[in-house]
A and B are shown apart, each in its own frame.
Chain A
Amino acid sequence: MPDKRLIRWVVAVPMALLALATIYPLVFTANVALKARRDYVLDRFSPTTSLQWDNIVTAWTSVGMARYFANSLVVVTISVVLLLLLGSMAGFALSRLRFRGSKALFLGCLAALFIPFQVIMVPLARVMADSGLIDTYPGLVLAYVAQFLPFTIFLMTSYYKTIPAEIVDAARIDGNTTYGVYRRIMLPMGTPALLSVGILNTLFCWNDVLISLLMMPSANHRTLMVGVTSLRGQYSDNIPTFASGVLIAAVPMLMIYLFLQRQIADGVTAGSTKG
Chain B
Amino acid sequence: MRSERLAPYVLVAPALLIIVALRLWPLLLGVNFSFTGDGERNGTMVGLDNYLEMFQDATFQSALRNVGLLVLLLPVAVAIPGLLATFIYLRVPGHRVFRSVYFFPAVLSPVIVGAIFNLMLAFDGPLNTVLATIGLGPVDWLGDPGVAMFAVVGVHVWATFGMALVVFLAGFATLDSALLDAARMDGASLPQTIRHVIIPGLTRTIQFVFVTTMIGMLTSMFGLLYVMTSGGPEGSTYLPEYYVWIQQGQMNRPALASAASTVLFLIMLVVGLLQISVLRRAGRED
Contact = CB atoms under 8 A, between A and B. Distances in A.
Interface of A: 7-9, 11-12, 15-16, 18-19, 21-26, 28-29, 32, 44-45, 86-87, 89-90, 92-94, 97-99, 102, 105, 108-109, 111-112, 114-127, 142-143, 145-147, 149-150, 153, 177-179, 182, 203, 206-210, 213-214, 225-226, 228-229, 231-232, 239, 242-243, 246, 249-250, 253-254, 256-257, 261, 264-265, 268-269, 272-273, 275
B101 interface: yes
Contacts of B170: 269, 272-273
18 contacts: A8-B90, A16-B94, A19-B102, A25-B119, A86-B15, A89-B15, A108-B19, A111-B24, A142-B22, A146-B19, A146-B21, A146-B23, A213-B245, A229-B115, A229-B227, A246-B115, A249-B109, A275-B208
Nearest to A249: B112
Contacts of B126: 24, 28, 44-45
Interface string B94-105: 100110111111
Contacts of B105: 22
Interface of B: 3-4, 7-9, 11-12, 14-16, 18-19, 21-27, 29-30, 33, 84, 87, 90-94, 97-98, 100-112, 115-120, 125-126, 129, 158, 163, 166-167, 170-171, 174, 190, 205, 208, 212, 215, 218-219, 222-223, 226-227, 240-241, 244-245, 248-249, 254, 257-258, 261-262, 264-265, 268, 272
B122 to A, nearest CB: 9
Nearest to B211: A275
Contacts of B219: 116-118
Contact of A25 (B7, B116, B227, B264): B116
Contacts of B226: 209-210, 213, 229
Contact of A19 (B98, B125, B215, B257): B98
A98 B101 CA distance: 45
B25 A246 contact: no
B241 to A, nearest CB: 4
Interface majority SS on A: helix, strand, loop or mixed? Answer: helix
B101 to A, nearest CB: 4
Contact of A127 (B26, B120, B129, B158): B26
Contacts of B158: 21-22
Which of A12, A15, A109 is packed against the most chain B CB atoms within 10 Å?
A: A15
B93 to A, nearest CB: 5
Contact of A118 (B98, B104, B112, B244): B244
Given A90-B11, A142-B18, 18 more contacts: A8-B90, A16-B94, A16-B98, A18-B102, A28-B116, A44-B126, A89-B14, A116-B215, A118-B261, A122-B30, A122-B244, A126-B254, A150-B23, A153-B15, A207-B223, A226-B111, A229-B227, A232-B118
